[in-house]
Structures are given as structure tokens and as C-alpha cells.
Structure 1
Amino acid sequence: MAAVDPDPARREAFTAATGRPAFGDVDALRAEDADLALVASPNHLHAALARRLLTRGLATFVEKPVCLSSAEADRLAAAERAGGVPLLAGSACRYRADVRALAGLAGELGHLRHIDLVWERACGVPRSQGWFTSRAEAGGGVLFDLGWHLLDVLETVAGPLAFVQAAASTSYDHVNDPRWTAAWRHDQPVPELDADVEDTVRGFLVTGSGLSVGLRASWATHAASHDVTEIRIEGSDDTAMLRSTFGFSPNREPRPRLSVVRRGRTSEITVPTEPIGAEYSRQLDDIRDHLADPSACGSAIAGVRRIVGTIEALYAASATPLLPAGPVMTAAAT
């Protein structure tokens, strides 16, 4: 085990606590130093660091968002091929017991017609010393944060999808108001709030086969009393819905609720109760299995390309100017 950190004090603390070496730059790492490299940095550094690690022959795990553009995804794929080691993509929500139960029902609903993906926080704007709400460092706002998780879960329940139509709107009514900060994150206070990312996104996507997907994600909303995640899958025969709370917020649903509706009758499906964060332990097990699988190279980056491509399409489709909320303007016909 070894660590890389540009801060000398943190390197010294790591070595003192573990007895392991710490370096100031990833180029000091050798393939024999570790079985897996973990990239834990602000979003805009993810792809560049991962490329350098992969080309040095280090299998690399990158937490979401793995990259911020399709061009970065292409460069990561090239680095993975050059290094001959796998890129592993982090997005733990797919490992939740309730998501797995929902995915198991998807094949029993008939032809899939529509899927709604919703994750709304009542009061949950992240600060993280400012970078989380900086477009230059985070790449975007809630769409890259919560939206990436939702799109990854979409693939878990419906398989790989290619969209041919996209419509979206974004807004940032709350992101520069300290009253909407997520107190449970224990972020350090930010002296001046100057966020230039969205706190809410609403999107609508359609595949070539006619499957439609609605996506709504928000760091803060007046409508919610607590943080809620909902996934609703409408099929030609039945509809399944999961209502839960993803993530670590303590302001959550009491328990996950999974139900199936057919011809007006609702049946609730029992979902095992599990500790908050159990999905991350399952993700670790999956990482171990992928490291032992010679076919792992190329599998994660394919999903990353689809997700970041969809995010790009939603941003491009959004006609909502990133301006503070103001008086409602109406246009009169002339």
C-alpha cells in the first residue's frame, strides 16, 4: 500500500500512521506498489490521474463521475488498452439491496414503456470547501452528482440504453443560499458563496425503441420534508416502484418500500433491511472479483461513455439560463 498526496504534512501523517510510503506525484508509483489505485480527488482531476495510473500498469478505481466528457472517456479507454489493466468505475447505488430487488422485477413487467428517476434532497447543497459547486472543478452540479447515480441505476434495471431525444431544464435557486447547505455533511463554512452550477435538473429522454425516461434531481427543494429517491418502472403489464433514500443523509425515508401495481391493485414486496452504506461493502467485493477477471478491461468504460454522453445531451438540451431566480417574465404575442 502507498499513498499520493501533494500536501507534505498529509504524506508524513499517512506514513506515520501506516508505516507505508507516500509520494508527492502519481508518477512515483510503480505497478508493484499496489494491486489497485484509488482516485479520490475533485472531479476535474479524475480522468487525468486515472490515465496516468492506467498507463503505468496500475488497475485503477475511480469514483463517480469517472470523467466529465465523452472526449475524456475516449482517452481513458486508450489508457486502459495501453496499460493492459482494468479501469473500474465507482457508483455504489447499484449494489443496494432494494435496487437489486427492483432490477429483479423489471423483467416481469412486460415491455418497458417508461422509467422515472427521482432523487430530491430537502436541504442538501454540498459545499466541500467550495469545489463541489464550482463548474471548473466539479464539471457541473447536481446532474454530475446525484444524476450520475440515477443513470447508473437506470442501466442496472433496464440494461444499456441509447437515447435519440433529450429535453432538459436546469436551475440554481438555492445553491448560493447558505440556508440550504447540507448540515449533515459537516462541510467547512465557505466565506463567500459563488456557485456556478445547477442545484436542480429536470430531464426527459427517449430511446430509438420508444422507451421514455424522466429524470429529476435536486440538492434542495421546497416540496420535500426529507431526502427521497424514487425509481418507477412502467411496463406493458405491471408497474414497479421503489421509494427509498440513497446515500448517507440521516434525513431519510424510514425504510425502503418496493411495490408492484397491476390493474389498480398494489402489492408490496419485502426488501431486506440493511445498514446505511452496506452497498459500499458489496462494491468492494465486486472490485476484487473484477481484478481477478481478465475480461474486465473495457467493460466499465463502455458504461461510463453512455452515462457521460447522456449527461452531455441533457446539458446541451437545457435552455434554462443559469441566472438567479427573479420575477416571472411573460411574452405577449405580436
Structure 2
Amino acid sequence: MRVAVVGLGWAGRSIWLPRLREHAAYDVVALVDPDAAARAELAAALDGQAPVGLFDDPDALRRAEVDLAVVAVPNHLHSFVAARLLNVGVPVFLEKPVCLSTAEADTLAAAELAGGAMLLAGSASRFRADTRALYDLAGLLGEIRHVDVSWVRARGVPDAGGWFTQRSLAGGGALVDLGWHLLDAVAPFVGTDGFVQAVGTVSSDFVANAAWGAAWRHEDAAQSRAGGDVEDTVRAFLVAGSGVSVSLRASWASHQALDATVIRVEGSAGTAELRCTFGFSPNRHPASTLTWTKDGVDSAVDVVTEPIGAEYRRQLDELPALLADAGQRGRAVAQARSTIAAIERVYDSARPRNHAIPAARVAF
């Protein structure tokens, strides 16, 4: 499969490009970024190992030459760039957040229909071995009633002072970043009717201090700029159309010692709890644990603890089959619309300390 990587920031360089290059199913034929220095740096790193086109604009990509575009540009450009590619018939694999408003979701749906190409979305949390074990265990829980889900970092504000902490460019803070992963992870438990109620609070106790930056993303994080106008923590309560309730917390930083992700699913016939750490931070619990509780008895369930980032490789394993499945058309947009609608509700409820997500339109 001939692939173009659009966006050569941290996600494009660190997550997708190396995995695409080592995967037998993919041939990286194009790199796209408006920054000439970023293009030149990667071209030098490739050292002529494969002929790769270097472009400053995704409009240079053609369906006859590219089978898939992996789009990993800054958040405010996600739907804008993806829609342009879809409109000319180039299939797109889009990093989260897929969109920053329900209006952008509608634009993506129209582009997918107009160009006849399929949109697939990054969904790392569902491709983890431990979350898949949790999904399998859910069949023993009876009717699902409630899910507690959290991803709390010890120190992990991304790119403090950069675009990631500017609402006009990122669309939001920890809710849009970590919260999108969490809402995606719980989607199999809550059904397809979306969320009908959502309230939440947000706070920004750590964004202004560079000491709380994600040093694992940038070695010089402690010397980076601090500040921003987004939240570093969100606490929310949501109710799905199916009646399942969800308690959610996402935090870029906290006073706990290690980064941790917890998903606890309560059913009419039992409870299951997964403890692990999503993401790439090395400041994590060493192993995933999965527990099934019924009638007062806790039972440990065998679960694989994979190398960090294995879920991204697994997504690439499954992408070709998804692209070949006509039944996948429209599913990514539908899920994204449900997710961003819930996020909008939470932000709206958090006013006046927080503002609604802007529908940014900035040229690539």
C-alpha cells in the first residue's frame, strides 16, 4: 500500500513514520509538511533508502499515486486537511481528535461521500491487548450499567506553551487529548446512541508551570515555555442513550507518582477493572492487571503486557482489511460526531471558566 505521511511533527515522526517504514504492507512514497527544514531532516534520515516525494502541501497528492494518507497535522487542521484529501478521492487515516466540532464532522461526512474515499480514524486504545481482554470479559458482566474511566499523568503537559496548549490550535486541553482516547475506549460498552447528557468541570493548575511538562516527549521540556488557555484536568459525568453512565477523568498532570489508566465496568452480573497506562510515557505501571469481581470474589484474569506502542503497530496490521470493507464507510465519522458532541457538552457545562470549542479554519 503506497502511503503518504501528512504532518511531520511528533506524532508523524515518532509514531507513524517508523512503523510504516518497517511494516511489510506499506511503502512510504510521500512526506508532506509546510516546514522545509522538517522535510529535509527526514529526507536525510531516509538516506536514499527509498524514493520519497517531498511536498509542502497535501494538494500535491493524487489518488493515482497514493493509496492512503496518514494525517497527523496539528489538531485545528485535522478535519480541514482530511476533507481536502477525501474530496479528491484519497483515503485517509486520521489521528485523533478527528474533528473539533460537530460541524467539522459534517464536513468530513460530505467529503467522504463526494470523493468516494474512506475515512478511518486513529483508535489506539481499542487496539491494545489489555483493553481487548476487557471487552471479551464484558460478556460475563450481564447488562452494563456504569463505566469509570480515567487517565491521569503524574507529569505530562504536552508541548507547554506551544500549539498543544492553545485553544485556537488544539481545540481544547486534556479532554480533547486524553479524553478522546477514553471516550473511544468506552464506546463498545455504551452502545451506538451517543451521549444524551454530559456535565463536567475543568481546571488548569499545572499548565502555567513548565516543570510539569512531558519530558518524555521533549528532552528540554523543563526549559520550554509554560502557559496556555486550555485545561490540564477535566472531570465529567455522561449518560448514553442506552442508559449507561460514564464517569471520566483526564489529567495531563497530578500529584500522583505514576501515570495510570483505569477502566472499571459495572454490570448486573459482575464488575471488571483494568489497570494499565495508556500512551508513551515511561513513568508508568510496569504491568497491566485485569480483575473480575462477582459475588464478593475477586478473580485475576490473564492479560498481556505489551511493549509500549504495540497498539499502533496493530492498527497498521488491520488497516488494509478495514479499507477493503465497504461496510466501514461512514463509521469513523459517526463515532467522531458522537465523541465531539459529548466533548462540546462537557465544555459548555464548564463555563464561564471555559469557552466553547472554536471551529478554526487555518490554511495548511
User: Normalising by the residue count of structure 1, what TM-score does the alignment of the two structures yield?
Assistant: 0.91
Q: Please say if 1:184 is aligned against 2:222.
A: no
Task: Report deviation, 1:193.
Answer: 2.3
Q: In structure 2, do the counterparts of structure 1 residues 135 and 54 end up closer, same or farther at CA, with 3 Å as the change threshold?
A: same
Q: Equivalent residue of 2:140, what SS?
A: coil
Q: After superposition, give the CA deviation of every residue in 1:167-219 in whole Å (9 maximum; x if it has no partner).
A: 10000011111121121111655654230000000000113443211000101
Q: Equivalent residue of 2:208, what SS?
A: coil
2:264 match: 232
| Structure (1 or 2) with the larger CA radius of gyration | 1
1:2 aligns with one of 13, 25, 30: 30
1:196 aligns with one of 222, 229, 236: 229
Q: Residues of 2 paired with 1:191 and 1:106: CA distance?
A: 43
Letter in 1 for 2:144: L
Q: After superposition, give the CA deviation of every residue in 1:97-154 in whole Å (9 maximum; x if it has no partner).
A: 1100101111221111110011100111111660111101100000011000000001
Q: Residues of 2 paired with 1:227 and 1:109: CA distance?
A: 27
Structure-to-structure mapping, 1:309-320, within 5 angstroms: 309-319=341-351
Q: CA RMSD in A?
A: 1.8
Q: In structure 2, do the counterparts of structure 1 residues 24 and 166 end up closer, same or farther at CA, with 3 Å as the change threshold?
A: same
1:138 aligns with one of 170, 175, 179: 170
Q: Please say if 1:205 is aligned against 2:238.
A: yes
8 Å Cα contact 2:291-2:301 kept in structure 1: yes
2:12 match: none
Task: Report deviation, 1:9.
Answer: 3.5
8 Å Cα contact 1:166-1:313 kept in structure 2: yes
Structure 2, gaps ≥5 residues long: 1-28, 356-364
Q: In structure 2, do the counterparts of structure 1 residues 172 and 129 end up closer, same or farther at CA, with 3 Å as the change threshold?
A: closer
8 Å Cα contact 1:168-1:314 kept in structure 2: yes
1:332 match: none
2:198 aligns with one of 166, 180, 189: 166
8 Å Cα contact 1:240-1:259 kept in structure 2: yes
Q: Residues of 2 paired with 1:322 and 1:162: CA distance?
A: 23
Q: Residues of 1 paired with 2:160 and 2:82: CA distance?
A: 22
Q: In structure 2, do the counterparts of structure 1 residues 60 and 263 end up closer, same or farther at CA, with 3 Å as the change threshold?
A: same
8 Å Cα contact 1:155-1:161 kept in structure 2: no
8 Å Cα contact 2:31-2:55 kept in structure 1: yes
Task: Report deviation, 1:296.
Answer: 2.4
Equivalenced residues, count: 322
Q: Please say if 1:214 is aligned against 2:247.
A: yes
Q: Residues of 2 paired with 1:255 and 1:127: CA distance?
A: 27
Letter in 1 for 2:313: S
Q: Residues of 2 paired with 1:28 and 1:209: CA distance?
A: 44
8 Å Cα contact 2:275-2:289 kept in structure 1: yes
Q: Residues of 2 paired with 1:164 and 1:296: CA distance?
A: 25
Task: Report deviation, 1:158.
Answer: 3.9
Q: Residues of 1 paired with 2:69 and 2:183: CA distance?
A: 25
1:305 aligns with one of 310, 315, 337: 337
Q: Residues of 1 paired with 2:82 and 2:168: CA distance?
A: 18
8 Å Cα contact 2:210-2:224 kept in structure 1: no
Q: Please say if 1:38 is aligned against 2:66.
A: no
8 Å Cα contact 2:133-2:303 kept in structure 1: yes
1:327 match: none
1:153 match: 185
Letter in 2 for 1:46: H
Task: Report deviation, 1:24.
Answer: 1.9
2:294 match: 262
Q: Residues of 2 paired with 1:121 and 1:50: CA distance?
A: 30
Task: Report deviation, 1:297.
Answer: 1.7
Q: Residues of 2 paired with 1:191 and 1:149: CA distance?
A: 26
Structure 1 range deviating more: 10-19 or 23-32:
10-19
Letter in 1 for 2:72: A
8 Å Cα contact 1:121-1:220 kept in structure 2: yes
Structure-to-structure mapping, 1:117-128, within 5 angstroms: 117-127=149-159
Letter in 2 for 1:170: V
Q: Residues of 1 paired with 2:176 and 2:205: CA distance?
A: 17
Task: Report deviation, 1:10.
Answer: 3.5
8 Å Cα contact 2:161-2:225 kept in structure 1: no
Percent of aligned pairs with the same amino acid: 55
Structure 1 range deviating more: 265-274 or 21-30:
21-30
Q: In structure 2, do the counterparts of structure 1 residues 161 and 243 end up closer, same or farther at CA, with 3 Å as the change threshold?
A: farther
Q: After superposition, give the CA deviation of every residue in 1:8-28 in whole Å (9 maximum; x if it has no partner).
A: 344345555343221221112
1:85 aligns with one of 102, 108, 117: 117
8 Å Cα contact 1:172-1:322 kept in structure 2: no
Q: Residues of 1 paired with 2:197 and 2:305: CA distance?
A: 38
Structure-to-structure mapping, 1:22-37, within 5 angstroms: 22-37=54-69
User: Normalising by the residue count of structure 2, what TM-score does the alignment of the two structures yield?
Assistant: 0.84
8 Å Cα contact 1:128-1:188 kept in structure 2: no
8 Å Cα contact 2:232-2:253 kept in structure 1: yes
2:39 match: 11
Structure 1 range deviating more: 277-286 or 70-79:
277-286
Letter in 2 for 1:205: L
